[in-house]
Copies of this chain bind each other. A is one copy, B any other.
Amino acid sequence: MMGIFMAGKTKEADVIKKLEELGQKMLSQIDAESSPTFTTALRSKGNIIYDEGVGYIRLGGKTEERKFVNVGQARKFMQTVAIAAKCKKFLKEGAHTSIRGLFYQLKFSLGDNLDEELFSEQSESNPLVEDLEVALGVKREDLNLNTDRKGVVAGPLVLKDKFGGGEDIIDCTKQGRSGWMIPSDVDNGMEFLEVGADYVLVVEKDAMWQRLNEDKFWKKENCILITPKGQASRGCRRLIRKLASRKLPVYVFTDCDAWGWYIYWAIKTGSMNLAYLGSDIATPEARFVGVTMSDIKDYDFLGQLTINAKEVDIKRAEEMLSYDWIQHHKDWVEELKTVLKTKKKLEQDALQGPRLSFVGDYLREKIAKKKFLA
């Protein structure tokens, strides 16, 4: 699958051209007295594949064609065309908005001819915008639509943010206790000036990131310290992907529980709802540094700091063990079986038990000895 993220400079012109071509194709269809059509990749479950060969979740080859002259599709078709027109306008104005902002622009133009629920910020899938992303081979970020942003960075990474015609230099070694907040779009109008790190460490929890930042772990270890603050946003996954493409190893540090496992696998292989972004947001090279139940063998005290696994952890462990592909990850199988057997789990915070700075020693040792789950 080809990457659909585009280089900064000529992006607007390229995307506008693609939007215009979409319109021109429809106009020719009308001229030829046939119904305008719109072709997009099928994004339903039957066309989502975990491709073991490449190591990430992607769409298969199935497509679907929407017809304007179809009672069930006419309204959505019109809405899609209206979205395309709005996005072209945003690109020409050089202004960004959110899905919700797009919704109100459309509501202003179309009135009640609008499926409000398709534009909910809460809804993870905004199907009409996704249609357009997939059909055009661009991302919504390229259509000047911002996504929810989350996550923070510290370490040897210097960026030039050319947002809004400006030129702000962001040095991620000089952001104090706060760190640099990962934006929605880390491609357009953004230049990586210096990436001087030896590796990338992704830490599930913001509280743990703050702990490591206070100890200047990123300085001592010359790494880029990222927290997605839980599940990684699109922007955060894309940033990790971009750093991995510069040959930086990526290590992920989460709780040993359902949520932590999900965060790791989503960074590594992508996720079902973003299958259409495939290789652009997945980092199959990522390795899992901890915490693991098998850590208890090496760090005795962790045995007394386990807590009871919840139902969701047990269910998730069972589910993961039922996948075929997990059998190629023997360490993971053992790990999940230990959770099921002991009905216990471990949080990354437990590494602060003996002393606050212990977590840094743990990470140093595991990374030096390459004690990873793949």
As a 0/1 sequence over residues 129 to 158 of chain A, the CB contacts with chain B under 8 angstroms (1 = contact) are 000000000000000001011001000000
Which residues of A309-364 are within 8 A (CB) of B? 347, 349-354, 356-357
- Check if A301 sits within 8 Å of B178, measured CB to CB: no
Q: Least Cβ distance of A288 to chain B in Å? A: 21
- Check if B100 sits within 8 Å of A146, measured CB to CB: no
Dominant SS among interface residues on chain A: mixed
- Check if A105 sits within 8 Å of B352, measured CB to CB: yes
- Check if B356 sits within 8 Å of A101, measured CB to CB: yes
Q: A176-B166, A207-B98 are in contact. Are A181 and B152 (CB under 8 A)?
A: yes
Closest-by-CB residue of B relative to A161 is B176
- Check if B207 sits within 8 Å of A101, measured CB to CB: yes
Q: A214-B164, A357-B95 are in contact. Are A178 and B174 (CB under 8 A)?
A: no
Copies, count: 2
Q: Which residues of B contact A215 (CB under 8 A)?
A: 95, 164
Task: Tell me if A67 is interfacial: C-beta within 8 Å of chain B.
Answer: no
Task: Tell me if A124 is interfacial: C-beta within 8 Å of chain B.
Answer: no
Q: Which residues of B contact A356 (CB under 8 A)?
A: 90, 93, 95-97, 101, 105
Q: Which residues of B contact A305 (CB under 8 A)?
A: 104, 107-108
Contact partner, A214, options B163, B170, B213, Cβ 8 Å: B163
Contact partner, A207, options B100, B105, B175, B351, Cβ 8 Å: B100
Q: In the bound complex, what is the Cα–Cα distance between A216 and B347 (angstroms)?
A: 42
Q: Which residues of B contact A148 (CB under 8 A)?
A: 206-207
Task: Tell me if A180 is interfacial: C-beta within 8 Å of chain B.
Answer: yes
Closest-by-CB residue of B relative to A166 is B176
As a 0/1 sequence over residues 25 to 38 of chain A, the CB contacts with chain B under 8 angstroms (1 = contact) are 00000000000000
Q: In the bound complex, what is the Cα–Cα distance between A107 and B302 (angstroms)?
A: 11
Q: In the bound complex, what is the Cα–Cα distance between A326 and B312 (angstroms)?
A: 44
Task: Tell me if A222 is interfacial: C-beta within 8 Å of chain B.
Answer: no
Number of interface residues of A (CB under 8 A): 61
Task: Tell me if A76 is interfacial: C-beta within 8 Å of chain B.
Answer: no
- Which of A95, A163, A176 gathers the greatest number of chain B CB atoms within 10 Å? A176
Q: Which residues of B contact A13 (CB under 8 A)?
A: none
- Check if B175 sits within 8 Å of A168, measured CB to CB: yes
Q: A146-B207, A177-B163, A349-B104 are in contact. Are A304 and B183 (CB under 8 A)?
A: no
Closest-by-CB residue of B relative to A357 is B95
- Which of A90, A116, A183, A185 gathers the greatest number of chain B CB atoms within 10 Å? A183
As a 0/1 sequence over residues 190 to 214 of chain A, the CB contacts with chain B under 8 angstroms (1 = contact) are 0000000000000000110011011
Q: Least Cβ distance of A26 to chain B in Å? A: 25
Q: In the bound complex, what is the Cα–Cα distance between A163 and B215 (angstroms)?
A: 10
Q: In the bound complex, what is the Cα–Cα distance between A207 and B121 (angstroms)?
A: 10
Can you pick out 15 interface pairs between chain A and chain B where the beta carbons lie within 8 Å of each other?
A95-B211, A95-B215, A101-B211, A101-B349, A104-B305, A104-B347, A104-B353, A105-B353, A121-B207, A161-B178, A163-B176, A163-B214, A164-B177, A169-B174, A178-B182
State the 4 A-B residue pairs at the shortest beta-carbon distance, nearest first: A161-B176, A98-B207, A108-B353, A168-B176
